[in-house]
Chain A
Amino acid sequence: LKQKHHQWFRNPTWRAALFWLLPAAFLGYFFYQPLVALFNLLFSPTWDFSLANLNWRKIWDPLWFTILQAGLSTLLTLIIGLPGAWLFARFAFPGKKILKMLTTLPFILPTVVVAAGLNALLGPRGWVNLGLIALLNLESAPIQFLNTFGAILTAHVFYNTTIIIRVVSNAWSQQNIRLQHAATVLGASPWQTFKEVTLPLLRPSILSATLLVFLFNFTSFGVVLMLGGPQFATLEVEIYIQALHMLNLPLASILSIIQLIFTLGITVGYNQLAGMREFAITPRSQEIGLRKPRNLLERVVIIVLIISLFALLVSPLASLVMRSFVKLEANRGERGVVQRGLTLRYYRELGTNRRGALFYVPPIMAARNSFMFAIITIIITLFLGLLVAYALKQHTPLNAFLDPLLMLPLGASAITLGLGFIIVFNRPPFSNLAFPILLPIAHSLVALPFVVRTLGPALGNIPESLRNAARVLGAKPLQVWREIDLPLITPAILVATIFALTISLGEFGASIFLSRPQYPTLPVAIFRYISQPGALNYGQALAMSTILMVVCAGGILLIEQLRLPGRDLF
């Protein structure tokens, strides 16, 4: 019998099933159950919906546009992100840590604030246009940015470049530099080395990051709505229109099912590509491959890269922060004159409840709520993410089936899921009092694919020979995990933690349905201000956004400071 017990463990399918148990239960309960319940209700006879009256153009047009913009956005993000990843993985330069942190911040900002930032920069009266008008003596603004296809693409690059940078540079910096040296010694040109050694090793992480970026763009909502304008609609925007403005829930559901089917198809396609080959190469310390630029050409390339990253990712942030300190109202009657002074008024105003309003939230409380939800999200996703990453390492057909189901929450419409939550989780144990826990759970559904796609390649890179060596030397199972696996995946765990943190801090879609006025988060507070007229409201929204960025920056720096095993190992 004992022998049989061992057999059972040796079977990779059973092993994978064991790892999958909790994550699958989590997804089933919190993702599939609400979706199925919603679709079930909407296609029941009481809703009187038939496919016959369906206007297929309403589906075809947004679907085509969704694919087009997601493909182009992802391509552009790769063009910016891959050189960025190379920069952070291979070179040491002053201010590197800060720049890397800054490139992460766009990810957390609510679209309404990003729109304000881009408007301050590139709008008809933005600084770039005003500068060009003054410089070239023009009549009107030369750059038409808002409400264009270009604005959508730019904003997607702005938001998602950090995904490519974080995921790919992490894998790149862990690559064993000796392999490249060996290739060089054997007479390979730098291009050959890159093509034959570096690139194949980076393939899993590039594919992972590309998939995540594509799915994020595929379900893009705020950017298309606010920066693209009424000429453009993705599936997600159409779902929003049908569900919340036309009150046509069945049509919204059909659109969201189509969105899910495409997500599934994309993920299955990805698995075909990614599953082809996996190399396990002894990873190296992240510091070993780092060097200073060697010659003039490298120096120029690096400076151009840093400037591009600044222009694309940091300047809209900077314009937001600056505006939160600048007096917005010129004196009446002197509007033509640009008359601005510095002020802390908006920050002071955040701390006062002028109207004695019931739902007023001091910024420190909003920050606390945001952090609390983020920490719960991190705990849930790291725990479940590690289990899934180990499950995916087993060679079993089970994974080909379960992995795409894990990715599906990324392709699910936040509105559809939110409505599903409402009909399923409206009775004990999810009474109103317990409802706040659903928010970090919803965040975890979105963050989990990121965590898995980050940890997966890192685990795949650990050669089994290392573990075997440890076992031969007498290490206990737990010891093997602690001494071999954990140190080697620590950098990936840090990246995963940062993703979970930023997704939770910035998520807004699910918050619409699941946030409770008792626990407003920073994005909710920002939205409260910017949805009312008045200079103080606008100023406070920008001030609150600045606080959100500071909180997130603080969180990232804190995570990067954590003394986890493996950091000083090599």
Chain B
Amino acid sequence: MNSQKFPLKGGINSMTLKLKILSIALLIILGAACSPAIQANEARTLTVMTHDSFTASEDVIRQFESDHNATIDFVRSGDTGSALNQAILSKENPLADVLFGVDNSFLGRALEEGIFEPYDSPLLDDISEEFKLAPNNFALPVDYGDVCINYDKTFLEENNLPVPRSLEELSNPQYAGLLVTENPATSSPGLAFLMATIAQFGEEGYLEFWSALVDNGLVVVNDWETAYYTNFSGSSGQGPQPFVVSYGSSPAAEVYFSEDPAEGAPTASIIGPNTCFRQIEFVGILNGTENRDLAEAWVDFMLSVPFQDDIPLQMFVFPVNSNAKLPQVFLDTVQIPDQPATLPIERINQNREAWIEAWTETVLE
């Protein structure tokens, strides 16, 4: 090349000048972003790690902050799995003081990893025993919800189909091709529904039931968004299937987020023994926090009535505190099953992977 004969001396010099200017610019940007903000009256910061579905009313959170002269820094990252992974990976050097959002399908793993410190909150007295799954209060229940099958009311009316009363009935030919569910390997409601079938049919019978569902034209997709908005006929996506694995509170959300709430819910849940799987979400103080007192105050706050009252309309799940009140739209539209399916957390932790693999072989292959 010519460059051998005509050294690029000039090119280099001009580049280094540009380089200097640009690196100064880059440093300024980095510096501006990294410089600590000046904080008024020494408010303490509590870091709360959680998942993307976490939300709350601004007033409620601000009240806590002013009562405790604290700032809450929320780190919301991905779904429950990614939040838990972050806590596990950073357990030597915790990213946060508190983790909220581990549910009973992951709680066993969280306890096994020893990421939490126990805390006997005085507010536990207001919470029913059925929710307290963690031994020694390493994690405290905050809310619960049910993964249920929603159905499209209009479709069933127009086609003169009765509402199924049990899981078994879904394998009847009259419901052929009408149910869409999520892959338990990629979706949390999908896994919850798989566990409902294990609670109902036992380890020896659940795969047989799934085979029957497959023979009856079961549709499986990977994520809740696709199942609900692409496949489900009762949602705005107006897909082909009138039955979808979703949440017991979805009909309430359909009313609350509808263009004309007076019309009532277009969907409802199948409520029968073991048709719904109960998910309970927990909060825990992360092992090694330097703000233990503030973390305790925050956990108490999450279990107290003001926060618990705020839960339903923010996250569309139910408060565990028995003194909390439900909003009208919930009282009107949400059915709470008398006998939800549950499984012990240790059993879930030991078998999660094996169940999913067995399911994959039966349903997908």
Contact = CB atoms under 8 A, between A and B. Distances in A.
A254 to B, nearest CB: 16
Interface string B50-90: 00110111110100000000000111111101101110111
Interface string A120-134: 000111000000000
Given A332-B263, A517-B74, A538-B237, A115 B89 contact: no
Interface in B237-254: 237-240, 246-247, 250, 253-254
Contact of A534 (B53, B56, B154, B253): B253
Contacts of A240: 186
Interface string A299-334: 000000000000000000000000000011101110
Contacts of A532: 253, 257, 316
B75 A464 contact: no
A149 to B, nearest CB: 15
A527 B254 CA distance: 17
B118 interface: no
B23 A477 contact: no
Contacts of A534: 236, 253-254, 256-258
Interface string A528-562: 10111111111100000000000000000000000
**8 closest residue pairs by CB, A with B:** A534-B257, A477-B10, A244-B81, A478-B14, A464-B2, A538-B236, A536-B257, A437-B33
Interface stretch (B137-145, B162-170, B200-208, B217-225): B217-225
24 contacts: A22-B23, A119-B239, A225-B223, A229-B221, A230-B185, A230-B186, A230-B220, A230-B221, A230-B222, A241-B186, A246-B352, A356-B58, A357-B58, A357-B314, A359-B74, A419-B89, A467-B6, A471-B10, A481-B11, A517-B76, A528-B52, A532-B257, A534-B256, A534-B258
B253 A533 contact: yes
B86 A422 contact: yes
Interface stretch (A186-194, A198-206, A376-384, A397-405): A376-384
Nearest to B150: A533
Interface of B: 1-3, 6-15, 17-19, 22-23, 25-26, 29-30, 33-34, 36-37, 45, 47, 52-53, 55-59, 61, 73-79, 81-82, 84-86, 88-90, 93, 95, 106, 109, 154, 158, 183, 185-186, 191, 220-226, 228-230, 235-240, 246-247, 250, 253-254, 256-260, 263-264, 266, 313-314, 316, 352-353, 356, 364
B73 A432 contact: yes
Contacts of B45: 432
Contact of B238 (A18, A125, A418): A125
A530 B229 contact: yes
Given A432-B73, A516-B76, 5 more contacts: A231-B364, A244-B85, A245-B185, A387-B15, A415-B82
B240 to A, nearest CB: 4
Given A230-B220, A358-B57, A535 B225 contact: no
Interface in A230-276: 230-231, 237, 240-241, 243-249
Contacts of B253: 532-534, 537
Interface stretch (A62-70, A210-218, A423-431, A494-502): A423-431
A467 B266 CA distance: 71
A312 to B, nearest CB: 20
Chain A interface secondary structure, helix, strand, loop or mixed? Answer: helix
A411 to B, nearest CB: 21
Interface in A129-182: 141, 146-147
A226 B254 contact: no
Contacts of A530: 225, 229
Contacts of B254: 533-535
Interface in A311-370: 327-329, 331-333, 335-336, 343, 345, 355-360
A528 B6 CA distance: 58
Interface string A491-521: 0000000000000000000001111110000
B86 A357 contact: no
Contact of B17 (A244, A464, A478): A478
A328 B258 CA distance: 10
Given A226-B226, A533-B246, A358 B34 contact: no
B57 A468 contact: no
A383 B58 contact: no
Contacts of B229: 116, 119, 530, 538
Contacts of A426: 90, 93, 95
